[in-house]
């Protein structure tokens, strides 16, 4: 299949063959989105309206604090606070109707639950997931590459399986699932083995058995289940 601008990043992530390739794509999208919002986009009226409406989650506020161009962040906060005060905590509240209070409640709720970066990443990741399914359906070489992956994390495996319901033919759906299940099952069995070894280390019968990587089995398993890079 001829590569396009849409498939090149996918093949690049799959060529690494280390960890979950969709995690690699998502991290790249997150970095690009943070750089986008901390760059010239912050001065665009349409973007400012969206950041005022959605705000940012704790995770991405923390990441923006570590980036350069704090002026962009300050300007965004200035606009965001102004909008929040005017729309969420206005003056003369005693003169408002119940409907207006409900709108204010909704505004404040959105300010604490939504995130501009998360929304942008999720939207683009959905497009990539659909392209991954399309590549698997149309390219036998990509199917082979899929089987060579180290694993797919639970979060992204679920997204792939959901997208495959529409993007993969009925005759190929079982094969799609098998290709992805086999790689992820190997990883889960490996984690289970290390967690079991860690648990056994508290049993005097296994006190002389070296732990090795199982010493951080709990941390590695939690990182895997949450789609984070594993601790070594």
C-alpha pair distances (Å), 23 with each of 19, 101, 175: 8, 41, 22
For helices 170-200 and 140-147, give the axis angle rounded to 10 degrees: 10
- What does the pLDDT average to over 140-146? 95
- What does the pLDDT average to over 124-134? 95
CA-based diameter of the chain, in Å?
A: 74
What is the pLDDT, as a whole number, of residue 109? 72
Pair 229, 153: CB distance under 8 Å:
no
Q: Tell how far CA 16 is from the center of its chain.
A: 18
Q: Tell how far CA 198 is from the center of its chain.
A: 29
- Sign of the Cα pseudo-torsion (187, 15, 158, 113, in order): positive
C-alpha pair distances (Å), 59 with each of 113, 152, 183: 12, 23, 30
Pair 124, 97: CB distance under 8 Å:
no
What is the pLDDT, as a whole number, of residue 228? 72
Helix runs in 55-169, H state only: 58-65, 70-88, 98-113, 116-138, 140-147, 154-167
CA 213 to CA 11: how far, in whole Å? 30
What is the pLDDT, as a whole number, of residue 231? 57
% of the chain surpassing 90 pLDDT: 53
Q: What angle do CA 32, 17, 14 make, to 5 degrees?
A: 55
What is the pLDDT, as a whole number, of residue 173? 95
- The pLDDT tens digits for 215-228 are 888 998 998 888 77
- The pLDDT tens digits for 164-214 are 999 999 999 999 999 999 989 989 999 999 899 889 888 877 777 887 888
Q: State pTM to two decimals.
A: 0.83
Q: CA nearest 155: which of 224, 220, 231, 218? A: 224
């Amino acid at each position: 299949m001829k590569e396009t601008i849409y498939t090149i990043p996918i093949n690049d992530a799959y060529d690494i063959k280390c960890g979950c390739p969709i995690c690699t794509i998502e991290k790249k999208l997150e970095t690009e989105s943070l750089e986008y919002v901390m760059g010239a986009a912050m001065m665009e009226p349409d973007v400012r309206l969206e950041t005022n409406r959605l705000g940012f989650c704790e995770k991405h506020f923390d990441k923006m604090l570590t980036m350069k161009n704090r002026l962009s962040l300050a300007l965004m906060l200035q606009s965001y606070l102004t909008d929040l005060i005017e729309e969420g905590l206005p003056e003369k509240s005693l003169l408002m109707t119940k409907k207006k209070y409900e709108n204010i409640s909704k505004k404040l709720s959105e300010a604490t639950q939504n995130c501009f970066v998360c929304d942008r990443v999720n939207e683009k990741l959905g497009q990539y997931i659909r392209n991954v399914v399309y590549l698997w359906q149309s390219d036998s070489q990509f199917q082979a590459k899929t089987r060579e992956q180290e694993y797919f994390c639970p979060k992204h495996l679920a997204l792939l399986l959901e997208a495959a319901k529409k993007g993969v033919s009925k005759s190929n759906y079982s094969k799609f699932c098998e290709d992805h299940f086999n790689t992820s099952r190997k990883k889960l069995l490996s984690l289970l083995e290390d967690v079991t070894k860690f648990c056994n280390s508290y049993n005097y019968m296994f006190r002389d058995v070296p732990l090795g990587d199982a010493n951080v089995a709990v941390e590695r398993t939690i990182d895997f289940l949450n789609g984070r890079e594993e601790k070594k």
